[in-house]
């Protein structure tokens, strides 16, 4: 197995662990590393096309899950922000009449 593909698999597993732990800083760093390793793996002339396709497919599925999770978190944060804004508006109205 090519070194870049092996490293990509290891990084992919670390990415999954970071997502599960909610360590978004680590997720960002591992994302950058994954992109570098994909470039390296694609540049290798002796790459195993079938293995690389399998690894990239698995990585793609993980990214779809991560994007879905991020969208869910974004929606939750938006709801919380709206609640805070409504609370501020309520406080202003209360202050006007007190």
Q: Are 12 and 56 in contact (CB under 8 A)?
A: no
Q: Closest Cα to residue 66, out of 31, 39, 36, 29?
A: 31
Give the pLDDT score at 1. Answer: 57
Q: What is the pLDDT of residue 26?
A: 95
**Does residue 94 sit in helix, strand or coil?**
helix
Q: Are 62 and 15 in contact (CB under 8 A)?
A: yes
Q: So what's the pLDDT on residue 35?
A: 94
pLDDT along the chain (98 residues), means of 10: 85 93 93 94 90 94 92 92 87 77
Q: What is the pTM of this model?
A: 0.74
Report the 10 Å Cβ neighbour count for 75.
10
pLDDT of residue 95: 79
pLDDT of residue 30: 95
3-state secondary structure 27-89: HHHHHHHHHHHHHHHHHCCCCCHHHHHHHHHHHHHHHHHHHHHHHHHHHHHHHHHHHHHHHHH
């Amino acid at each position: 197995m090519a070194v870049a593909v092996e490293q990509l698999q290891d990084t992919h597993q670390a990415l999954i662990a970071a997502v599960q732990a909610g360590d978004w800083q680590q997720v960002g760093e591992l994302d950058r590393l994954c992109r570098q390793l994909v470039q390296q793996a694609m540049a290798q002339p002796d790459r195993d096309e079938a293995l690389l396709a399998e690894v990239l497919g698995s990585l793609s599925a993980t990214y779809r899950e991560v994007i879905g999770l991020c969208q869910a978190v974004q929606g939750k944060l938006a709801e919380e922000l709206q609640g805070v804004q409504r609370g501020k508006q309520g406080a202003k109205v209360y202050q006007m009449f007190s």
